[in-house]
Chain A
Amino acid sequence: MINSNADSAMGILFPNSYDSLVPELVTERLMASIPFASRYRLVDFVLSSMVNCGIDNISLIVKRNYHSLMDHLGSGREWDLTRKKGGLNIIPPFAQKTVNIYNGRVEAIASIIDYLKRQKEKYVIMADTNIAVNFDFKDLLQQHIDSGADVTIAYTREDIPKALRDIDVTKKDLYYTLGIAEDGRVQKIVVNDKQGGEKNVSMNIYVIERELLMDQIRQAYVNGLTYFERDIISPQLDKLVVKAYRHDGYYARILDLNTYFAENMKMLKEENVNALFAPSPIYTKIRDDNPTRYAVGSHVKNVMAADGCVIEGEVENSILFRGVKIGKGAKVRNCVLMQDTVIETGATVEHAITDKNVRISSYKELKGTESFPVFVEKRKLV
């Protein structure tokens, strides 16, 4: 069996992780299917990175609102994941367990433990989908194997973002900072660090041997534990060799509506786009749009736009998703306009995020501020 190579890994993604941070964007979807960077969904980044690193058996354990994700991923063809063995595997909550939709990774993984047992890969790589990143899973796996660690956690070195410090514990979305020894071994895992300052912030990307993962999950599940990090890894830092892997490349962490807006805006800088979309490509669903058309009389500056747009008005400092229409005399500044948004003739829109299929009527004015962008929900007519 090819996949039983000593260094092969399968992937498990948690598309609902951190949903509670962006309530506006997940009313009809989940974190993984939030549109990002003009033609992508957040899941595209980790998924493509895995595929580009030779991981071709990827399971997504979904929890709720996964309709849009299923629609986006389809059979997984765009990510080259239509495989007879492995490929893409979306795991909805098991019918009998719906009364108790999983909380935390322990229950989520416990629900697929029979499936895990049947897989051939030696390692499992787990990840969330709230970070847009072109991640080198090959390098991570190699370090994991070379270091002889039981678990390796990827992290970034950064000032703890304000949005994380403000996290509402009652919503049960935890984040972790790592205390790392000189030899790279994780000594301490701090849950919801309130102190701020430069820290090792976990990306919630883990490598672990499949057999070890199953053992740990079985034990944790019978003991009624919830969180993989807090309840399994953290208490066993002396028993398990847990190493850290630092990611120094580009990443966009979505933590609330403001970071969503800001991270999109960062795509207007060429160096950021080049950093996020290289060295390996990011795949996404194909929509077969025509090229974008800039009509006579359009004024466009500092814009990232996908295919299928028709621009007749003025646009500045904005991200336009597929099929956006901007009418004559309309002015759009500092906006993120998702798929098929229509800005009618003469309307003015500034500092706004419009969800899919929003329509702003003629000569309407809609203005937010930089620190507080206006959000217009899906299919809304303004």
Chain B
Amino acid sequence: MAKEMIAMLLAGGQGSRLYTLTQKLAKPAVPFGGKYRIIDFPLSNCVNSGIDTVGILTQYQPLVLNEYIGNGQPWDLDRLHGGVHVLPPYQKATGSDWYKGTANAIYQNINFIERYDPKYVIILSGDQICKQDYSDFLRFHKEKGAEFSVAVMEVPWEEAGRFGLMVADENDKITEFQEKPKEPKSNLASMGIYIFNWDILKKYLVDDENDPNSANDFGNNIIPNLLKDNREMYAYRFDGYWKDVGTISSLWEANMEVLDPENSGINLFDDDWRIYSRNSGMTGHRIGENAVLENCMVTDGCSIDGEVKHSVLFAGVKVEKGAVVEDAVIMGGSTIKAGAQIKHCIIAENVVIEKDAVVGAMPEGDTKGVATVGSNVTIGEGAVVGPEAMVSDDVKGGDRV
């Protein structure tokens, strides 16, 4: 049975710039926004856009991600024909290879795509926070008679040089592609989201694979090759909220923006475009006698008796009486004990901050870093973790890091 469009979601990235947060899990599995993981966004977008077949390409630390995706039921992607499939590299009769690049990852799964005989394939990236209607993107692709389209965002000219840029004419037809240029000719940054006609994509993947000099990458190889051949290439302008949460500071920032949906543009309280996730199954959260809450998000299983301001708390977080939490992202199952001060930081899952410990500080002068504590770490009683610190191992009581 043919599908009009299926999605291939690139989720193999290590996310090395998230350091300790991605030591044991792939970037798309990083928790976000109180009860989600990053991958919930592209998956929910797919379902909300009517795409019911998604291949997830994994490679780096796939355990957490595999378990999280499971049979895809939380996203309504457990289907008789289609649904969600996790696609790790596998052994073939001719040998086996890791995914060498983004294009190679898709190339190695040509057989998977062919099973659905799609007309179009959308390539998604598993490390962005974005609510996007892919069906509108597809409508654009069809209207333009495109063979390839890329979703682009307008970025400020002064920052354009950090992006892969699409130079397009008045009809949105792409005339040139610049990868992180010194002198940008455009401010349309590629979001790394592409729609291909499957026959075109397949041809270029095969050609690319036969080119021994290729890095097998969409941005560096496939797109330039399409341009060289004068293919019908169009830029689809997207003006909603979009954030690549590839660094500690951008991840922290995006979480803070969730607290300000009126101004930031990222609204998780949108019944028409719900973001689905695997639920913790914990009981409703409890706010105690001594709690002070101001501008924060709290989810199931939390127990709060301290002061929490401008923060995002994930499932099962405990904040004891007398603890102060401000500008913080505290992931699932972590405990902040009495008297601890947690500020301007990211605390990963199942961390214990003992009594009177201090993690991070409000930005002052040049120290604007986001302190980060890796998962399953214990910060001892009275220990101090500085505003720029990144902690992956236990800190003994009274120590300073």
Contact = CB atoms under 8 A, between A and B. Distances in A.
B287 A290 contact: no
A67 B271 CA distance: 24
A177 to B, nearest CB: 32
Interface in B293-337: 293-300, 303, 312-313
Nearest to A77: B73
A303 B286 contact: yes
A44 to B, nearest CB: 11
B34 A290 contact: yes
Given A293-B269, A301-B287, A288 B298 contact: no
A291 interface: yes
A292 B73 contact: no
Contacts of B294: 294, 296-298
Contacts of A304: 284-287
Nearest to A38: B284
B274 A306 contact: no
A262 interface: no
B281 interface: yes
Interface stretch (A16-24, A91-99, A236-244, A277-285): A277-285
A63 interface: no
Contacts of A37: 283-284
Interface residues of B, number: 33
B35 interface: yes
A38 B283 contact: yes
B289 A302 contact: yes
Given A290-B269, A306-B300, A307-B35, A270 B295 contact: no
Nearest to B296: A294
Nearest to B295: A296
Interface string B263-299: 0000011000011110101011111110101111111
A288 B287 contact: no
A302 B287 contact: yes
B192 interface: no
Contacts of A297: 294
B219 interface: no
Interface string A8-44: 0000000000000000000000000000011110000
B33 interface: yes
A290 B268 contact: yes
A160 interface: no
A190 B276 CA distance: 51
B74 interface: yes
Interface in A296-317: 296-298, 300-307, 310
A288 B299 contact: no
A37 B269 CA distance: 23
Nearest to B311: A294
Given A37-B284, A282-B283, A290-B269, A295 B299 contact: no
B265 to A, nearest CB: 15
B299 A292 contact: yes
A268 B281 CA distance: 19
A291 B284 contact: no
A273 interface: yes
A298 B293 contact: yes
A2 interface: no
A303 B287 contact: yes
Nearest to A284: B281
Contacts of A270: 286, 288, 303
Nearest to B312: A291
A286 interface: yes
Nearest to B278: A286
B286 A290 contact: no
A186 to B, nearest CB: 35
B297 A302 contact: no
A37 B74 CA distance: 23
Contacts of A292: 285, 297-299
Contacts of B35: 290-291, 307
Contacts of A302: 287-289
Contact of B286 (A268, A291, A293, A296): A268
A291 B298 contact: yes
Given A37-B283, A39-B300, A288-B277, A294 B289 contact: no
Nearest to A317: B289
Contact of A305 (B268, B269, B284): B284
A212 B283 CA distance: 39
B268 A39 contact: no
Given A40-B283, A294-B294, A305-B286, 10 more contacts: A39-B284, A283-B281, A296-B295, A301-B289, A301-B291, A305-B284, A305-B287, A306-B284, A306-B285, A307-B300
9 contacts: A270-B288, A283-B281, A286-B279, A291-B298, A292-B299, A293-B297, A301-B291, A302-B289, A304-B284
Q: For the complex of A and B, list the 6 residue pairs with the smallest distance between their C-beta atoms, beginning with the closest.
A: A38-B284, A291-B34, A291-B299, A306-B284, A294-B293, A291-B297
Interface of A: 37-40, 77, 268, 270, 273, 277, 281-283, 286, 288, 290-298, 300-307, 310, 319-320
